[in-house]
């Protein structure tokens, strides 16, 4: 290792493990400034240590730590504490104290201070990822000096429980923030969500300094007139809106606006350029997949009906939604701009070749969030690599309609449950009749 570099340990939370390299990173860096830059954006990282020692055996850890020169780093008379962390195993307080006392040889001359010490040291035992198969001894031991925490507190700050305006499909704040990071949003970037809903992704984008705007075909949702999502709420408050959410988090200056619009129809100027698009298109399960249209041939709207006419809607299939989304991204993203979106599918059907593709967009990341035994959704991150030509079209594999198969499978499951219940009732009745017959014969 280069003598000018120091070794750091980035320790992750045990959540959304498919969105990162679990469960920790060991990285050589020139100074702590880079560490602080990383953790200032990191949602999945719990904390970072300057790594002083590690080992496969407890003895190896202590020998490594004794060989590491820490006296000048710790300094004299500085208050300290030693924290004990485990991954996939729980320790009692007595066990933690015993482990802390095993480091009594360290040159720690200052007082112990459990709150806000001058220096925090951390001892970690890693027991793997499977809570159902915990080994007797850890796979790895680590010890080091705490440098900084990640941005886990943002998950609580942006919690849906305390948010002013939410809907049935409001995105979880942790996933929203991860999407914003996948899009590499920087201060001053222009961010668009074409299926904006209640604006959860706009909040995450503005948290990192992005100027945000969006569209949605649902007039009632954008105007806060849909049925309240919270069970305890009878009617929506008059000021419920995306703008109210942005004001709640002090992000009003980053909020441009939202527009009621059908994404399948061109709305924006051809020279519009966007830094990033982050979105969660509707799947047709909890939110309808609709666009403006009619099944009538050559429909005519009379002049006296024009001012009060409400356009009819028809189905907007997932394949067409993603074709429109990728083509729009290819046209309106800046070069190297990113599209981050969710794609639902059935797990037994999945291959990477079936994912939406476009000649102008390179797929950079593809992470799975399991939804049920049968379904999951993939968080896809694309980067625009070239400007589109007239011949460029998006490629959408012709998969079974997700909504159609979802409800068909659910109905099949219900039938199976009804059959099992009927069989169980018949079995119990047969046992009851046999038992009565035996009693009568006696």
Q: Which tens digits make up the pLDDT trace of 351-392?
A: 888 899 999 999 999 999 999 888 999 999 999 999 999 888
Q: Is the Cβ–Cβ distance between 340 and 276 less than 8 Å?
A: yes
| Helix axes of 173-182 and 200-207: crossing angle, nearest 10 degrees | 60
Shared domain for 26 and 144, answered yes or no, is: yes
Q: Looking at the 3D structure of the chain, how many domains does it have?
A: 3
Sheet strands (E) in 34-139: 45-55, 80-87, 119-126
Select from 104, 130, 151 the last residue of a domain. 151
Tell me whether residue 302 is in a domain: no
Q: Is the Cβ–Cβ distance between 47 and 149 less than 8 Å?
A: yes
Q: What is the CATH number of the domain that holds 62?
A: 3.30.2130.30
Compute the half-sphere exposure of residue 115: CA atoms within 13 Å on the CB side of its CA: 0
Residues in contact with 340: Cβ distance below 8 Å, sequence separation at least 6, in sequence order: 179, 182, 183, 276, 277, 278, 279, 379, 380, 381, 382
Statement: residue 47 has pLDDT above 60: yes
Which has more pLDDT, 19 or 340?
340
Q: What is the CATH number of the domain that holds 258?
A: 3.40.50.150
Q: How high does pLDDT run on average in the chain?
A: 91
Pairing mode of beta strands 211-216, 255-260: parallel
Q: What is the mean pLDDT of residues 186-214?
A: 98
Q: Which contacts (CB < 8 Å, 24+ apart) does range 316-320 have? A: 316/264, 316/289, 316/290, 316/291, 317/289, 317/401, 318/281, 318/283, 318/284, 318/289, 318/344, 318/401, 318/402, 318/403, 319/396, 319/398, 319/399, 320/264, 320/396
Q: What is the model's pLDDT at position 251?
A: 98
Q: What is the mean pLDDT of residues 402-415?
A: 81
pLDDT tens string 287-322: 888 998 887 877 777 777 777 777 888 889 888 999
Q: Is the Cβ–Cβ distance between 382 and 339 less than 8 Å?
A: yes
Shared domain for 371 and 277, answered yes or no, is: yes
- 3-class DSSP assignment, residue 393: coil
Place 71 in a pLDDT band, splitting at 50, 70 and 90: low
Residue 103: name the closest of 75, 78, 89, 122 by CA: 122
Shared domain for 95 and 174, answered yes or no, is: no
Which of 147-156, 221-230, 299-308, 420-429 has the lowest average pLDDT?
299-308
Statement: residue 21 has pLDDT above 60: yes
Shared domain for 351 and 429, answered yes or no, is: no
Kindly report the pTM of this predicted structure: 0.89
Shared domain for 194 and 329, answered yes or no, is: yes
Statement: residue 270 has pLDDT above 70: yes
Q: What is the model's pLDDT at position 1?
A: 46
Residue 120 domain boundaries = 6-151
Pairing mode of beta strands 274-279, 333-346: parallel
Residue 194: name the closest of 249, 274, 270 by CA: 274
pLDDT tens string 127-142: 998 888 999 999 999 9
Q: Is the Cβ–Cβ distance between 127 and 55 less than 8 Å?
A: no
Q: What percent of the chain has pLDDT over 90?
A: 67
Shared domain for 223 and 370, answered yes or no, is: yes
Statement: residue 397 has pLDDT above 70: no
Tell me whether residue 301 is in a domain: no
Statement: residue 238 has pLDDT above 80: yes
Which of 159-163, 245-249, 426-430 has the lowest average pLDDT?
426-430
Tell me whether residue 364 is in a domain: yes
Q: Is the Cβ–Cβ distance between 205 and 246 less than 8 Å?
A: no
φ/ψ (deg, to 5) at 43: -95, -35
Shared domain for 15 and 55, answered yes or no, is: yes
Asked, as a colleague might, if the bond just before 420 is cis with ω within 30 of 0, I would say no
Tell me whether residue 1 is in a domain: no
How many CB atoms are closer than 10 A to CB 416? 10
**Helices marked H in 249-296:** none
Shared domain for 19 and 123, answered yes or no, is: yes
Shared domain for 206 and 342, answered yes or no, is: yes
């Amino acid at each position: 290792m280069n003598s000018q570099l120091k070794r750091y340990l980035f320790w992750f939370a045990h959540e959304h493990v498919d969105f990162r390299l679990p469960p920790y990173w060991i990285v050589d860096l020139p100074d702590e400034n880079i560490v602080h830059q990383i953790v200032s954006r990191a949602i999945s990282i719990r904390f970072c240590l300057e790594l002083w020692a590690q080992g496969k055996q407890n003895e190896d850890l202590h020998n490594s730590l004794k060989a590491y020169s820490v006296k000048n780093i710790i300094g004299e008379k500085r208050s300290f504490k030693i924290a004990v962390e485990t991954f996939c195993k729980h320790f009692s307080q007595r066990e933690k104290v015993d482990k802390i006392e095993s480091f009594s040889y360290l040159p720690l001359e200052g007082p112990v201070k459990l709150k806000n010490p001058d220096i925090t040291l951390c001892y970690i035992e890693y027991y793997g990822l499977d809570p159902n198969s915990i080994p007797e001894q850890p796979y790895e031991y680590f010890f080091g000096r705490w440098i900084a925490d990640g941005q886990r507190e943002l998950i609580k700050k942006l919690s849906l429980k305390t948010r002013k305006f939410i809907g049935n499909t409001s995105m979880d704040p942790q996933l929203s923030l991860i999407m914003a990071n996948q899009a590499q949003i920087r201060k001053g970037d222009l961010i668009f969500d074409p299926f904006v809903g209640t604006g959860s992704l706009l909040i995450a984008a503005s948290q990192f300094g992005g100027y945000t705007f969006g569209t949605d075909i649902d007039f009632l949702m954008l105007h806060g007139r849909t049925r309240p999502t919270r069970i305890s709420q009878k009617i929506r408050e008059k000021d419920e809106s995306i703008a109210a959410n942005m004001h709640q988090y002090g992000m009003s200056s980053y909020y441009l606006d939202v527009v009621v619009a059908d994404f399948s129809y061109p709305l924006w100027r051809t020279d519009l350029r966007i830094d990033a698009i982050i979105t969660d298109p509707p799947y047709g399960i909890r939110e309808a997949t609709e666009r403006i249209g009619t099944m009538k041939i050559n429909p005519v709207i009379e002049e006296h009906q024009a001012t009060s006419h409400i356009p009819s809607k028809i189905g907007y299939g997932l394949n067409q939604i993603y074709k429109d989304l990728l083509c729009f991204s290819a046209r309106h993203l800046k070069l190297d701009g990113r599209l981050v979106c969710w794609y639902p599918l059935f797990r037994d059907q999945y291959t990477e070749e079936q994912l939406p593709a476009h000649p102008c967009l390179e797929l950079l990341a593809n992470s799975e969030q399991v939804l049920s035994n049968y379904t999951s959704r993939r968080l896809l991150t694309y980067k625009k690599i070239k400007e589109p030509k007239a011949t460029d079209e998006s490629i959408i594999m012709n998969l079974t309609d997700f909504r159609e198969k979802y409800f068909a499978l659910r109905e099949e499951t219900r039938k199976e449950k009804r059959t099992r219940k009927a069989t169980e009732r018949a079995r119990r009745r047969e046992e009851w009749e046999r038992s009565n017959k035996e009693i009568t014969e006696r």
